[in-house]
Amino acid sequence: MATDNKVSLADMRKLLNIDNTPEPKEVIGQADVDEDGKVNIYNTTIDALSTKLIEKTRDELKPALSKVIATTTAEEVGTLEKKLQADLDKTQAELLKLAQEVRPIEIRTETKTKKLKGVRHNQFENLLKITMAGQPVLMVGPAGTGKTKGAEDAAEALDLSFHSISVGSQTSKSDLVGYMDGGGTYRTTQFRQAYEFGGVFLLDEADAGNSNVLILLNAALSNGYMAFPDGMVHRHPDFRMIATANTFGNGANRQYVGRNQLDAATLDRFTVLVWDIDEKVESAMAGTADEGKRWLTAVRAVRKRVLEELELRVVVSPRATLRGAQLLAAGLEFETVLEVALVGNMPAANKSELANLARASYKK
């Protein structure tokens, strides 16, 4: 039973291991498949190619080569065709993904349209949309993933001033709402400036702060006004609130032991946006130099081993990628960079293993 399959000449050349013969002008050959699944190649160009090769082969190899040509089955040809098509589909998908990654982000307002170019975190567009909608957003993700930078970029993209405070256990009420000094003069804060006059206010490391202090923000986020030491202030229409955290506000975990549980009423006022490591952004941090790319490979190998296999309480963030790439570019030796930028804070019991893993990955 014959079928009329079309086989690429390039495919047949590969099957026959014909690499150095000039490429024939024709690009498609015909093949009939008989009842035994054998392929009978009758295209004259392929016939001539095969005959020429056989004629140049020593007599004792001719039968073997003839058998290879004669016993190329439809299944083998079909498998190769599927593989080539899969490779093509993968390439097309990668190109489409690349095009989507580098496409400008469009911001449209009533008065203008602004396009943002360059490499951005895969959640940056969502951050912009949530912020533009006027909703407070809590960015949750591991250390070193660019949360603070994302908030700053959002302010720039929206043409708003940027205000920020990094909170901790010692952050007080006056750090947020200000205070009246001994002379009766009100001392303002970054939060007050954004709230009254408009702008993006970033509450950085929110889960490191005192939940009782942060409760002060509840009224400011839910209502259109807030009480300050010098009086009641109405919220500006362009006030935007962003907070960052390493946890979801449920308290400390194995990796972030200094984090506090946040009040449920405070958390309820935020839209939560997960901000994990974006490999595209991390690749951009490593740069285009070969040493930077190999350093990135080493960092990722160590990160996978530390987090997924050994489950150590160690952070291997994109900051390690950025630091190492910059130090290598500055001329430091690999071994020095390895110690100061990657494995220096590893547990003693695992340090040697992880250093060797980084060395092997960097050499590949």
Q: Look at phi and psi of residue 107 and say left if phi exceeds 0, alpha if psi is from -120 to 50, else beta.
A: beta
- pLDDT digit string, tens, across residues 281-311: 999 899 989 999 999 999 999 999 998 899 8
Average pLDDT on 322-338 reads 95
- pLDDT digit string, tens, across residues 241-260: 999 999 988 877 767 867 88
User: CA 28, CA 9: separation in Å to the nearest integer?
Assistant: 6
DSSP code of residue 261: B
Query: Are residues 209 and 319 located together in one domain of the fold?
Result: no
User: CA 137, CA 149: separation in Å to the nearest integer?
Assistant: 15
Give the per-residue pLDDT at 250: 80
Which of 54, 78, 99 marks a domain boundary?
A: 99
Query: Are residues 110 and 246 located together in one domain of the fold?
Result: yes
252 or 323, which is more confident: 323
Q: b vs e for 160-198, b when ≥16 Cβ sit within 10 Å of the residue's Cβ?
A: bbbbbbebeeebeeebbbbbeeeeeeeeebbbbbbbbee
Give the per-residue pLDDT at 104: 61
Quote the number of domains for the chain.
3
Give the per-residue pLDDT at 352: 95
Which of 217, 245, 274 marks a domain boundary?
A: 274
Angstrom distances, CA of residue 260 to CA of 36, 148, 169? 72, 19, 9
Query: Are residues 118 and 184 located together in one domain of the fold?
Result: yes
Which pair of tokens denotes residue 250?
Answer: 């449920």
pLDDT band at 42 (very low <50, low <70, confident <90, very high): very low
Residue range of the domain that includes 203: 105-274
Give the per-residue pLDDT at 301: 96
Average pLDDT on 167-190 reads 94
**pTM for this prediction:** 0.67
**Which of 8-12, 166-170, 251-255 shows the highest mean pLDDT?**
166-170
Angle of CA points 132, 138, 143, to nearest 5°: 125
